[in-house]
Amino acid sequence: MMSLLPALGQLSLIIALLVSVTQAISSLYGSWRQRPHLLRLSRPLAYSQLFFVGLSFGFLMLCLLNDDFTVKYVFENSSTTLPWYYKLCAAWGGHEGSILLWVFILSLWTAAVALFSQQLALVSVSRVLGILGILATGFLLYILMTSSPFMQIILPPSFHSQDLNPLLQDPGLISHPPILYMGYVGFSVAYAFAISALMSGRLDNDWIRWIRPWTLIAWSFLTCGIVLGSWWSYRELGWGGWWFWDPVENASFMPWLMGTALIHSLSVAEKRNTFKAWTILLAISAFSLSLMGTFLVRSGILVSIHSFAIDPSRGTFILIFLAVVILSSLALYGYRSTTLQSVGRFSLWSRETLLLVNNIILLSMLFAVLLGTLYPLLSQTFGWGKVSIGAPYFNTMMAPMGVLALLLMGIAPHLNWKHEAFKKDITKHLVILIIALSLGTLLMLLYTRTFTPGVTTGVGLALWVIMSTLHLVIKTKRFTTKIVGMILAHLGVAVCAIGIVISKHYTTEKNVYMHVGDTTTLASNRFHFGPVGFYKGPNYAAETFTITRFDKQQASDQLHPELRLYRADNELLKKTAVDVDAFRDLYVAVGRPVKNLGWPVHLSNQPFIRWIWLGGLLMALGGLIGLFDKRTRTQKR
Amino acid sequence: MKKVLLFIPFLGVLIVLSLFYMNLKQNPYLIPSVMINKKVPSLDAPLLLAPTKHFEASTLKGHASLVNVFASWCYSCLDEHKLLMTIAKSHQVNLYGINYKDTPKAAKALLTKYGNPYKQIISDSTGKIGINLGVYGTPETFLIDKKGIIRDKIIGPITKTTWRHRLLPEIKRYQ
């Protein structure tokens, strides 16, 4: 009976492919030739695609729960001793499963578009669903041709299944990939609306109004996903960094930057009837960057900690799909967008100008990240030798652009559309800026007694954003959800910036070898290395350490980092322990003991690091609140 | 003219995608198929623990051997080290080492600290031997049969599973 499950899973995938092919053909043809009987099919097709992909995903989970090791994917990513919740999450812990999750989420979004677009004309909905159907077709073909999770193997008489990568056996795995993918894949909706607008040749305000909520929700998910990923690698990788400029992290950061630019340009396009062709280009690009990110992770052409097993045929398939989707979209854009020209005039000191500057800053950041990420490929192709571009490059590029962005964020929301009422307020803004910069400097001198220009600028400007955003709160007479969302998101950026700047400049760390009974100090805390205990987890054996922190002679708390040996693949993993506080993290990791020297202990004191993630969550919350804008729901087409 | 400008994104993406395509073709993971079933290239270089002597090609003849490429700067090599010690103690295969792009001092320190699983170690401080073998990174392990022909190559650390289910059966076949 057991081996029936993978067969059923594969069958559901094949049916899902047939459904998505039908969706792509019938909906697009139906909306082109205005065939009502075909158009009426597109919504039911969207729901059935979700049903069959969901079914197949469910079968994969059942295979994992049942320890059906005749399925290669289960053999490679699970073991009998793995706790049940990690067995479920193993459904996206390996390459094949994670692509299935991708398609599942695409189907969720497709069904959501079908469900929440009742007020939109059936022709337009069908066109959007048809475009999403093309995407689903591509990915389902990819799964069936190169990476089906239901592939069966013949087991040797005695065998040990491999196991889920120990790094992935963490609560982070439960939430991070699905939420990140919700964001990544969510941009497909904005993309489908953009392509649909290009196809129909009509780009009116309705289009903008429809694309806005979908962009906002995808962006919020992406923000949350990036925050979770950063927090996960901070706890899991054992050296206390929260961002590594790893190609895969960059692959999620680039669509985020593009999505942020898109949200801002949408607001101009909506209010001022300008920037329309530009907005379309951004919508296409945001999703294209998501696709490119998927390619970078799956093909293994860049070396990354996140890469899955490498198989060139997989890379080739995605590359062809990538080329077809992106190039045809951009060709359509080049061909059609002149017909979408919209003229609007605005003066220098208007909100339009500053939003344009915002777009330029965000895109410059994006190009810097793109260049840094692809540089190893460039140098390899043109024989400049193997080079790896690291954090120093990215930090030098990002810092000045970050400063400009913060500077801009303090002013832009105060400006009016179109005209120059700004001049009479300029002194007020300057006063706030000076107060903020001096406050930042004062606080810094008070706490550290040393002057660091980077901190004055960073914290000062973040305070300026907070103060001028609060100024906006006082000035605003009618609060729409759009304004509240914007305020929260901007405060989030400021909070995040404070976290980045302070943790970057004031993190102290120490690497020492310790024996039981040893003591060391860091940042006015004394740490005592207590007795070592052992315990057996479900699929690992662990040494637990007791590190007692003394705050001025008083034992204030105990930290329990672990060193785990996972049985299946004999892999050693450091489980870090963190003492969390709103203003600082004390972070401890213990490594594999060295003869005669003791255990290597990594201690660090990271001030304000929580603020980075708190800021990110505020941004995501702002995006979600902006979603409930009255205009997006009540206005009929 | 304006029309041409609208195609700039198209051209930009085309360039990036061609870059991807070229690198996909250069995928380092295709290299093993080139080296497999070929004769071992010359491993003529000084021995790490006896620098006056050179490694002799005849050493590999007559029995199956594993040649493990390692370096003291390579973290995954340390992970693999314990298993290599077990393999050496099991006496099921002759294990040789190539110390890749490393200083003799650091390499010797590593061996004193964690033990030496290798019968002989070839010192490849310049990486020249590595290039001949098509080494992409460390650790990498080659399985060579009794006639000196490369039969398999493992990229990355050997795990217990690869040792038991892949290498050991192959060693028995090519012995």
pLDDT digits (tens, 9 = 90+) for A51-92: 999 999 999 999 999 998 888 899 888 888 889 999 999 999
Across the interface, do B23 and A377 touch by the CB < 8 Å criterion? yes
Best B1, B10, B80, B168 member to test A by mutation, with max A CBs in 10 Å, is B10
Q: Are B59 and B98 in contact (CB under 8 A)?
A: no
Best A570, A573, A574 member to test B by mutation, with max B CBs in 10 Å, is A570
Average pLDDT over residues A514-535: 90
> Looking at per-residue confidence, does A285 or A210 come out higher?
A285
| Predicted local distance difference test score (pLDDT) of residue A386 | 54
| Main-chain phi, psi angles of A215, to 5 degrees | -65, -45
| Predicted local distance difference test score (pLDDT) of residue A310 | 55
pLDDT class for A302, splitting at 50, 70, 90? low
Radius of gyration of chain A from its Cα atoms, rounded to whole angstroms: 26
User: What are the beta bridge partners of residue A479?
Assistant: none
- DSSP letters of A80-128? TTS-HHHHHHGGGTSHHHHHHHHHHHHHHHHHHHHHS-TTS-HHHHHHH
Side-chain-side CA neighbours of A486 within 13 Å: the count stands at 20
Name the DSSP letter for residue B29. Answer: G
| Predicted local distance difference test score (pLDDT) of residue A636 | 39
| Predicted local distance difference test score (pLDDT) of residue A352 | 83
**pLDDT of A184 above 60:** yes
| Predicted local distance difference test score (pLDDT) of residue A637 | 36
pLDDT class for B107, splitting at 50, 70, 90? confident
Across the interface, do A334 and B14 touch by the CB < 8 Å criterion? no
| Main-chain phi, psi angles of B45, to 5 degrees | -155, 160
Chain A residues with CB under 8 Å of B2 CB are: 338
**pLDDT of A180 above 90:** yes
Q: Are A227 and A361 in contact (CB under 8 A)?
A: no
Across the interface, do A374 and B19 touch by the CB < 8 Å criterion? yes
Written as six digits, the tokens of A83 are 């706790």
Whether B24 has its CB under 8 Å from any CB of chain A: the answer is yes
* Gap between the terminal Cα atoms of chain B: 71
Across the interface, do A570 and B160 touch by the CB < 8 Å criterion? yes
Chain B residues with CB under 8 Å of A595 CB are: 113
Across the interface, do A312 and B10 touch by the CB < 8 Å criterion? no
Per 3-state DSSP, what percentage of chain B is helix, strand, and coil (rounded to 5)? 45, 20, 35
Whether B19 has its CB under 8 Å from any CB of chain A: the answer is yes
Give, in order, the Cα–Cα distances in Å from A508 to each of A237, A441, A473, A613, B15: 18, 21, 37, 20, 44
Across the interface, do A338 and B24 touch by the CB < 8 Å criterion? no
Of residues A319, A331, A570, nearest to B21 (C-beta):
A319
Rounded Cα distance, B60 and B134, in Å: 19
Of residues B7, B13, B79, nearest to A326 (C-beta):
B13
| Predicted local distance difference test score (pLDDT) of residue A208 | 81
Q: Are A525 and A551 in contact (CB under 8 A)?
A: yes
Least confident of A30-39, A303-312, A455-464: A303-312
Identity of the residue numbered A401: M
Least confident of A184-198, A329-343, A581-595, B139-153: A329-343
| Predicted local distance difference test score (pLDDT) of residue A404 | 95
Above pLDDT 70, what percent of chain A? 91
Burial class (CB in 10 A: 0-12, 13-18, 19+), A37: exposed
Average pLDDT over residues A542-551: 91
Rounded Cα distance, A622 and A600, in Å: 42
Average pLDDT over residues A164-193: 89
Q: Are A98 and A34 in contact (CB under 8 A)?
A: no
Rounded Cα distance, A362 and A260, in Å: 8
Give A289-323 as a 3 state SS string. HHHHHHHHHHHCCCCCCCCCCCCHHHHHHHHHHHH
Average pLDDT over residues A325-345: 78
Across the interface, do A310 and B21 touch by the CB < 8 Å criterion? no
Query: What pLDDT digit, counting tens, does each position of B52-94 carry?
Result: 888 888 888 888 899 999 988 766 677 788 889 989 888 888 8
Least confident of A279-288, A513-522, B42-51: B42-51
User: What are the beta bridge partners of residue A603?
Assistant: A510, A588
Chain A residues with CB under 8 Å of B101 CB are: none
Closest to A337 (Cα-Cα) out of B10, B12, B16? B10
| Predicted local distance difference test score (pLDDT) of residue A345 | 60
**pLDDT of A157 above 80:** no
Query: What pLDDT digit, counting tens, does each position of A398-437 carry?
Result: 999 999 999 999 988 888 776 666 667 788 889 999 999 9
Which range of A535-549, A607-621, B18-32 scores highest in mean pLDDT? It is A607-621
Distance from CA of B160 to the nearest CA of A (A): 7
Closest CA in chain A for residue B83:
A570
Query: What pLDDT digit, counting tens, does each position of A229-242 carry?
Result: 999 889 887 667 88
| Predicted local distance difference test score (pLDDT) of residue A303 | 59
Please name the helix (run of DSSP H) or strand (run of DSSP E) that holds residue A436, with its range, or none. Answer: helix A426-448
Distance from CA of A280 to the nearest CA of B (A): 12
Closest CA in chain A for residue B159:
A569
Whether B10 has its CB under 8 Å from any CB of chain A: the answer is yes
Side-chain-side CA neighbours of A184 within 13 Å: the count stands at 29
Query: What pLDDT digit, counting tens, does each position of A252-292 carry?
Result: 999 999 999 999 999 888 877 778 888 999 999 999 999 99
Identity of the residue numbered A610: R
**pLDDT of A633 above 60:** no
Of residues B10, B24, B113, nearest to A301 (C-beta):
B24
Identity of the residue numbered B57: A
Average pLDDT over residues A22-26: 96
Give, in order, the Cα–Cα distances in Å from A460 to each of A448, A498, A502, A585, A614: 15, 9, 11, 23, 19
Across the interface, do B13 and A330 touch by the CB < 8 Å criterion? yes
| Main-chain phi, psi angles of B101, to 5 degrees | 45, 60
pLDDT class for B32, splitting at 50, 70, 90? very low
Least confident of A121-125, A291-295, A321-325: A291-295
User: What are the beta bridge partners of residue B144?
Assistant: B65, B150
> Looking at per-residue confidence, does B124 or A114 come out higher?
A114
Whether B131 has its CB under 8 Å from any CB of chain A: the answer is no
Name the DSSP letter for residue A350. Answer: S
Chain B residues with CB under 8 Å of A316 CB are: 24
Q: Which ipTM did the prediction report?
A: 0.81
Average pLDDT over residues A287-306: 76
Across the interface, do B14 and A572 touch by the CB < 8 Å criterion? no
Q: Are A455 and A440 in contact (CB under 8 A)?
A: yes
Rounded Cα distance, A318 and A480, in Å: 42
Q: Are A616 and A492 in contact (CB under 8 A)?
A: yes
Chain B residues with CB under 8 Å of A326 CB are: 13, 17
Q: Which of residues 52-111 of B touch A (CB under 8 A)?
A: 79, 83
Least confident of A516-525, B27-36, B109-118, B148-157: B27-36
Beta-carbon count within 10 A of A398 CB:
18
Which range of A30-39, A201-210, A384-393 scores highest in mean pLDDT? It is A30-39
Whose structure tokens read 């992106």?
A: A326
Strands laid side by side in the B140-144 sheet? B120-124, B94-100, B65-70, B140-144, B150-155
Chain B residues with CB under 8 Å of A322 CB are: 17, 20
Across the interface, do B10 and A310 touch by the CB < 8 Å criterion? no
Distance from CA of A155 to the nearest CA of B (A): 11
Torsion of CA A38, A39, A45, A50, to 10 degrees: 160
Best A377, A378, A386 member to test B by mutation, with max B CBs in 10 Å, is A377
Whether B29 has its CB under 8 Å from any CB of chain A: the answer is yes
Domains annotated for chain B, with CATH where assigned, are: 32-174 (3.40.30.10)
| Predicted local distance difference test score (pLDDT) of residue B172 | 84
User: If DSSP codes are grouped into helix, strand and coil, which group holds residue A457?
Assistant: helix
Best B13, B21, B165, B166 member to test A by mutation, with max A CBs in 10 Å, is B13
Cis peptide before A166 (omega within 30 of 0): no
Chain B residues with CB under 8 Å of A162 CB are: 161
Whether B155 has its CB under 8 Å from any CB of chain A: the answer is no
